[in-house]
Structure 1
Amino acid sequence: MDTKKLKYFLAVVEAGSITRAAGRIPVAQPALTRQIRLLEEQVGARLLERDRKGVSLTHAGQFLYDHGRRLMAELDSVAKKARAISDGYSDALSIGITTIHSCIPSISNLISRFRAEHPSIRLALESMLSGPQARAIVEGEIDAGILFTEREDDPRLAYLPIARYRMAIVASRRHPLTESLPTELRAFADAPFIRFSRDSTPGSYDRVDRCFHQAGIVPNTVQECHDDITIRSLVAAGMGYAIMPSIMARGENDLVAYELDDLPISSQLMLAWRKGADSKPIDALCRMVCRSA
């Protein structure tokens, strides 16, 4: 299959129309239309339905889009590893790391030890939240990830536990939201709640919601955010509370963590990679995690 035509097809799907895709690439619209038609002839199936609003995928088109994105990511990974070998490395490994890795010594220690023990492997780090990390691993954009998740969250991934942290109410020490030391979620029923958007950490989002439901509370959500740093800053400024791993408040003068009996959930820090991936660098990283357990 011609990768240039496949790239054009992916661009059209993501833009939602041939006209918009032609402007983004950029390429003349008639030429782009012809490339899509040639790809359909090569595949032997209609890939797109066209109407005045733009394009939509046929079943065959959806299949090609899902697998095509993964294929292009894998080709990009192969190219990166080839460049690494050309630069004198034996291999390359791209890892997603949580945006709060600086708060978790085990992550920094693991990365430092891997670099020290495997200097011939070019290591690239991508700072990403857990949800985007999982998607990037599945689609081949990164080789592995260190993220907060549970084994059941994505069956397409293989996991190795690194650490587990209790989830807690994280609030400002300087701007208390309750009059006394809180012992249950109900103490925060009316307080402003700042939370992750669901696409950032879907598994954790749902587990927190179940705790609210069991406590008979509808949280007063005032803000949804996509990253830990923003949430911590808003909480420290007294704009509300968040539910995060209790380690987030460790060593912070402005934050306090309350581990409550009716918030009996924890967050598992995992090394994750795509099932079936055959990678010596990932194997080496797994052995290092096992030694640290």
Structure 2
Amino acid sequence: MDSKKLKYFLAVVEAGSITRAAGRIPVAQPALTRQIRLLEEQVGARLLERDRKGVSLTHAGQFLYDNGRRLIDELEWVARKARTISDGYSDSLSIGITTIHSCIPGISNLISRFRAEHPGIRLTLESMLSGPQAQAIIDGELDAGILFTEQEDDPRLGYLPIASYRMAIVASRRHPLTKAPPTALRAFAEAPFIRFSRDSTPGSYDRVDRCFEQAGIVPNTILECHDDITIRSLVAAGMGYAIMPSIMARGESDLVAYEPDDLQIFSQLMLAWRKDSVSKTIDELCRMVSHPA
């Protein structure tokens, strides 16, 4: 099967029409239509039903779409590995790391240890938020990731726990409530709240919302951000409070962390990888996580 035609097919399905897909690729619409027809001839089955609204998948088309993305990801993975070997390495490993890795010494220690024990493996690090990390692993853009998530968040991923951190209210030391440390979320009910956007850390976002619901309050959200470093700096400047892993306030003279009784959330730092991947390199990384030096 021609991988180029398969990529065109995936683009058409995801765009919902040949016209929109042609504009995104970009390629002339008649040429794209011809490529889809040639793919159908090659497969020996009709893949798309066309109407004025766009395209829909036949049963055969649905099967090809469900498996086609995985095939393309695997082809691109093989190409990356081939380039690695051509450059003189025995293998490669691309790892996503949380954007607050500098607050967690264990991450740097793990990476340093892996690099020291496996100098023949090309190691690539990408600093990314947890949500995008998980998607990049699923899409085959990363081999593994070190991220904040829960084991039930995505069944397509395998997980290995690294550490657990209590979530806390992080506020500026200049905040009025610092004079009498609060013991409940309600103390911050009217205070401006700066939070992560849901696509950054969906699991944590939903768990925080459940805590607010159980406390019977609606947070005064003034801003949503994708970047925890930005949130921390805005909180330190006195713009509002945030709910973050308590380690975010550690060693910061401008910040204080509170752990109220009704905020019983723990943020799990995990090593994650795609379940259907078979990699001795990832197996070795898992061994190091399970048996820290």
Give me the TM-score of the superposition, normalised by structure 2. 0.91
Equivalences for residues 187-198 of structure 1 within 5 A:
187-198=187-198
Q: Counterpart of 1:210?
A: 210
Q: Secondary structure at the match of 2:146?
A: strand
Q: Secondary structure at the match of 1:183?
A: coil
Q: Distance in 2 between matches of 1:53 and 1:71?
A: 28
Amino acid at match of 2:265: I
Q: Is the 8 A contact 1:231 1:242 kept in 2?
A: yes
Unpaired segments ≥5 residues, structure 2: none
Amino acid at match of 1:195: R
Given the superposition, is the C-alpha separation of residues 17 and 219 from structure 1 closer, same or farther in structure 2, using an over 3 Å criterion? same
Given the superposition, is the C-alpha separation of residues 43 and 229 from structure 1 closer, same or farther in structure 2, using an over 3 Å criterion? farther
Given the superposition, is the C-alpha separation of residues 216 and 39 from structure 1 closer, same or farther in structure 2, using an over 3 Å criterion? same
Equivalences for residues 123-202 of structure 1 within 5 A:
123-176=123-176, 180-202=180-202
- Greater alpha carbon shift after TM alignment, 113-122 vs 195-204: 195-204
Q: Distance in 2 between matches of 1:256 and 1:202?
A: 25
Q: Alignment RMSD, CA only?
A: 2.1
Q: Counterpart of 2:109?
A: 109
Q: Distance in 2 between matches of 1:45 and 1:237?
A: 61
Q: Distance in 1 between matches of 2:257 and 2:180?
A: 14
Given the superposition, is the C-alpha separation of residues 288 and 180 from structure 1 closer, same or farther in structure 2, using an over 3 Å criterion? same
Q: Secondary structure at the match of 2:180?
A: coil
Q: Is the 8 A contact 1:101 1:107 kept in 2?
A: yes
- Greater alpha carbon shift after TM alignment, 115-124 vs 215-224: 215-224
C-alpha offsets along residues 24-57 of structure 1, whole Å, 9 cap, x if unaligned?
Answer: 3332210011112222333344444444554455
Equivalences for residues 269-284 of structure 1 within 5 A:
269-284=269-284
Unpaired segments ≥5 residues, structure 1: none
Q: Counterpart of 1:264?
A: 264
Give me the TM-score of the superposition, normalised by structure 1. 0.91
Given the superposition, is the C-alpha separation of residues 66 and 213 from structure 1 closer, same or farther in structure 2, using an over 3 Å criterion? same
Q: Counterpart of 1:248?
A: 248
Q: Counterpart of 1:78?
A: 78
Q: Counterpart of 1:220?
A: 220
Q: Counterpart of 1:2?
A: 2
Given the superposition, is the C-alpha separation of residues 201 and 46 from structure 1 closer, same or farther in structure 2, using an over 3 Å criterion? farther
Shift of 1:18: 2.5
C-alpha offsets along residues 119-151 of structure 1, whole Å, 9 cap, x if unaligned?
Answer: 101111122221222222223221111111122
Q: Secondary structure at the match of 1:162?
A: strand
Q: Distance in 1 between matches of 2:71 and 2:22?
A: 22
